[in-house]
Structure 1
Amino acid sequence: MQDVLRSSTTEYDEGDFHMSKRTLRQGGVVIASLALTLTACGGSSKSDNGASGSSGGGSSAGASGGAAAGKTVQGKSGPLDCSVFSSFGDIKGKTISVYTTIVAPEDKPQIDSYKPFEDCTGAKVNYEGNKDMESQLLVRIKGGNAPDIAYIPQPGLLQQAVKAAGSKADPAPQTVIDNVTKYFGKDWAGYGSVDGKLYAAPLGANVKSFVWYSPKMFKDHNYQVPTTWDQLMQLTAQIAKDDKNAKPWCAGFESGGATGWPGTDWVEELMLRTAGPETYDKWVKHEIPFNDPSVVKALDTAGAILKNPAYVNGGYGGVKTIATTAFQDGGQPILDGTCYMHQQASFYAANWPKGTKIGPDGDIFAFYEPSMDASSKPVEGAGEFVASFRNAPEVEAFRTYLSSPFWANEKAIISTGWVSANKGANIANFKNPIDALSVKTLQDPATVFRFDGSDAMPAAVGTGSFWKGMVNWITGASTKSVLDSIEASWPKS
């Protein structure tokens, strides 16, 4: 039996929360020697009780065995009781290879976050970042050179990798299953599963359901952040009426070889809001056709903004300029007052000029893109998943560490522009206001999360005809012709 790596979840006072396409648990009796105390910054800690579960790793060492017994190391987020790893046996000197798309300079906080694990266990994590990892992973798997662990950024690629690896693909051990069940929930567990079996716990995440805006501009005009789609459209019309030197919205679909992907996000957001999560799932799986009436409605709802020359494209010109405006530049006119709102993900924070203050009282901030009514909160996003291709105690120990609140808080403290969907993450540890807002959004009990639809579709559609179709649509093609063309491109088998 192996016990789950557990961490206390830090309590936080919501009153203290003033900052506002491409990412541990059961109740029961804690074995004292496996308890992990987490003292996180900015709050008091409490123990999270856990029950033991059988692990697929096959380690027979008990709580008193192994190199980690009786040792504590200090992480950025608090002390780590190394005895939590004792049930995995003595893994000192063992190595775990990690393969990921996360490269320099973003790789440093990732690597640094492994230090408590390495100090506790004596195991070594060998990190390999490669921008071409997504295309090379299947090549390595088929060539018998799979990494121990891969951080996979799309559920579709996870499905392919697990099936390509066959028996070499290692399902999540019970320790990871318990963590995912408690700290992530069914939505995220589903995206990390293949044929109903959990293979990969979530790692990082991002939130796409945001509208960027200028708090100062809103305050100067006495505009309120909308909480329903009707309010958003009323605000859009009001801005167009009040300010003849600006437009309510700005957008950019150009992204080199990936041109069109920002447009797919508009459709996905509106599918979640107008059709609902269940129909969204059917659409992504092609259980309904791409040109289904529900998709027509979603695209036309987006068109009520994006194809209205009175509403776009602030700072750049007419509707067609959206196709040639780089997505990195899309929201920049907010800073000079020629645009009021820009739909884009949490990661867009990296595109504002150096010195731009992000926050509710800053130069720029974001609000949740409202649903049709305030009672529902669908959220679109993305993230990475931790898949394994070697069954070994040291690999399972590391996977368990990565799925714990301890790691999520450790990573948060040393990172900027990084978000976790782990419900044990303390919002106070996310110092960037947009990161904190993203975590708060993901942890909201009302949130219904769905992964980026185009990332889960077959590549011929998700990164092919869908992208191209959005460019054709914004430059004049009709909703019907675009959706019919994408439907015709869906692979027959």
Structure 2
Amino acid sequence: MRHTAARRIRIATSGAAVLGLALTATACGGGDSSGGGKKALSGQSVTVAGVWTGVEQENFKKVLAGFTEKTGAKVTFVSTGDNVSTVIGSKIEGGNAPDVVMVPQVGVLQQFAEKDWLVPLSKEIATDAGVNFAPVWKEYGTVDDTYYGLYFKASHKSTVWYNPEAFAQAGVEPAKSYDAMLKAGRTLSDSGVPAFSVAGEAGWPLTDWFENVYLSQAGPENYDKLAAHKIPWTDPTVVKALTTLGELFGDKDLVAGGGAGALRTDFPESVEQVFGPDPKAGMVYEGDFVGGLVKDQLKKKVGEDAKFFPFPAVDGGKPPVVSGGDAAVVLKAGKHQKAAMELVKYLASAEAAGIWAKAGGFISPNMSVHMGNYQDETTRATAQSLVDAGDSVRFDMSDQAPAAFGGTQGAGEWKLLQDFLRDPSDPEATARKLEAAAAKAYRK
């Protein structure tokens, strides 16, 4: 995310940000709802800003080209790079604000709303969202009872990816419980392959590990409270989750290279350690986007060379479904609000989501998207699982927190969980440090 975690992944899976890439698809021939052969927004333009670069940007451009073909509006995409909030703030101050921003973090969406930067989405969009999305997605796009953000792209961050050949050689199967997963991991280790490659170099994958354990073990009500800092990080549920996670982090048979090695492993490397030519681990936990790396960079077949199982239930809880996502918002400072609102309405449709689904590297929370649009069985399975989870989906907790706590390299939760990976012997001390950092960040 995310990074947000979803946002952070893009750093690993795409090239440098390219500013000002324009989609130049123009209206040509044919009529539409506007009648007279002229498309409804012909001659108008929309500027969209988002974090996407590389393949993701190219695929989103296909979606925007679909909007151009449908309406006649010219669309320009501008990549913000990773720091969306700072870049958009600067553009607003400079008088060149985009019309639509694809916001990759609940906390940033809330920040934009609190700064009075956003236009409430139209009643039509709200109606479409009510039909096409589980209510939880509308809730995550709402601030103080006002609907601002339409979630277009999502990630399923409760998937454990494994090397089928390593599993077959060790005689283990995908696990149904956390304890069974650790047991299978130790069997893998006995066969000569460490259980997990853990990406600890950045910190954000560690927050995802914690969130899945916590959601399953402590339950969604406590998850929501902790995400909003309505209970402290010293709460017994947090200490228990850290203790559970520490059982894995502290076992060198379970973590390739031990904690020290994991702290030198970035996200792409963690995937390569499992699915590369010389596997150094049997499993890697992260979201559905692991499949994109396996396919695009390692040139392996997802569903054959790389498979996944759902993150298993912890201590008898329900299997967790943690997600991230990108929400389309309309800026007050934008100069083309009518066309911008029409674009967001388009993004709420199954048609728009279907374009990217067919291109790959994408899943949608839109329940109306036909599963046949997804390229392969594995992507269909993750997309179906996300949709089936309905209101039990929980958004990435670190993406809901202030960036100073949940989204900053070398600080806050990222750093403290890295420290915990290095030495998980004192969960209570880690909980106290997390609470001190959270209390400071949430006060601002």
Aligned to 1:385: 327
Distance 1:436 1:445 in 2: 14
Aligned residue for 2:6, secondary structure, equals coil
Residue by residue over 1:303-361, the C-alpha shift from the partner in whole angstroms, topping out at 9 and shown as x without a partner, is: 11121123222xxx23322112222212333243442211112222343374543333x
Identity %: 27
Partner of 1:292: 235
Structure 2 equivalent of residue 484 of structure 1: 432
Offset from partner CA, 1:176-198 (integer Å, 9 cap, x none): 11121121212111111111221
Aligned to 1:408: 353
Partner of 1:396: 341
The structure with the largest alpha-carbon Rg is 1
> Normalising by the residue count of structure 2, what TM-score does the alignment of the two structures yield?
0.84
Matched, 1:93 2:43: yes
Verify the 8 A CA contact 1:91 1:393 in the aligned structure 2.
no
Counterpart of 1:248 in 2: which secondary structure? Answer: coil
Deviations 1:4-49 (A, max 9, x none): xxxxxxxxxxxxxxxxx137xxxxxxxxxxxxxxxxxxxxxxxxxx
SS in structure 2 of the partner of residue 128 of structure 1: strand
Cα displacement string for residues 420-467 of structure 1 (whole angstroms, at most 9, x for unaligned residues): 111111222111454323212211246721111111111221122111
Q: What is the Cα deviation at residue 142 of structure 1? A: 4.5
Alignment of 1:448-459 (within 5 A): 448-459=392-403
Counterpart selection for 1:175 from 124, 142, 148:
124
Name which of 226, 231, 253 aligns with 2:200.
Answer: 253
Tell me by how many angstroms 1:171 deviates.
Answer: 0.7
Alignment pair present for 1:235 and 2:179:
no
How much does 1:373 deviate?
A: 7.4
Counterpart CA distance in 2 for 1:214 and 1:84 is: 53
**Contact 1:71/1:83, CA 8 A, preserved across alignment:** no
Aligned to 2:260: 320
Cα distance, 1:395 vs. partner? 2.2
Shift of 1:249: 1.9
Partner of 1:469: 416
More helix by percentage: 2
Number of aligned residues:
404
- Return the TM-score normalized by structure 1: 0.76
- Indicate if the aligned counterparts of 1:376 and 1:446 stay in contact, CA closer than 8 A: no
Structure 1 residues 151, 409: CA separation in 2 closer, same or farther (over 3 Å shift)?
same
RMSD: 2.6
SS at match of 2:366: coil
SS in 2 for 1:295: helix
1:152 aligns with 2:103: yes
Task: Please give the alpha-carbon distance, in whole angstroms, between the structure 2 residues aligned to 1:446 and 1:204.
Answer: 15
Q: For residue 6 of structure 2, what is the amino acid of its counterpart?
A: R
Task: Give the AA of the match of 2:141.
Answer: G
Greater CA deviation, 134-143 or 154-163?
A: 134-143
User: For residues 434 and 135 of structure 1, what CA distance do their matches in structure 2 show?
Assistant: 36
Which of 158, 162, 167 does residue 213 from structure 1 map onto? Answer: 162
One-letter code of the match for 1:263?
Answer: L
Which whole-Å CA distance do the structure 1 matches of 2:144 and 2:298 have between them?
A: 47
Where structure 1 has 5 or more consecutive residues not aligned to the other structure, the ranges are 1-20, 24-67, 73-81
Number of the residue aligned with 2:6: 22
1:119 to 65, 69, 89: 69
How has the CA–CA distance of structure 1 residues 84 and 438 changed in structure 2, closer, same or farther, with 3 Å as cutoff? farther
1:334 to 266, 270, 274: 274
Q: Per the alignment, do residues 85 and 290 of structure 1 end up closer, same or farther by CA in structure 2, a change over 3 Å counting?
A: farther
Deviation for aligned residue 1:375? 8.0
User: Match of 2:428, as an amino acid?
Assistant: K
Structure 1 position 431 matched with structure 2 position 375: yes
Structure 2 unaligned residues grouped into runs of 5+? 8-26
Corresponding residue for residue 149 of structure 2:
200
CA–CA distance in structure 2, aligned partners of residues 101 and 211 of structure 1: 26
- Residue type of the alignment partner of 2:258: G
In the aligned structure 2, how far is the partner of 1:375 from the partner of 1:479?
Answer: 21
Shift of residue 234, structure 1, vs aligned partner? 3.2
Task: State the match for 1:268 in structure 2.
Answer: 211
Q: What corresponds to 1:83 in structure 2?
A: 33
Deviation at 1:374? 8.2
SS in 1 for 2:253: coil
Contact 2:99 2:337 in 1 (8 A): no
Q: Note the C-alpha offset of 1:90.
A: 4.1
| Offset, 1:267 | 0.8
Quote the residue 1:303 is aligned against: 246
For residues 415 and 337 of structure 2, the distance between their equivalents in structure 1, rounded to whole angstroms, comes to: 44
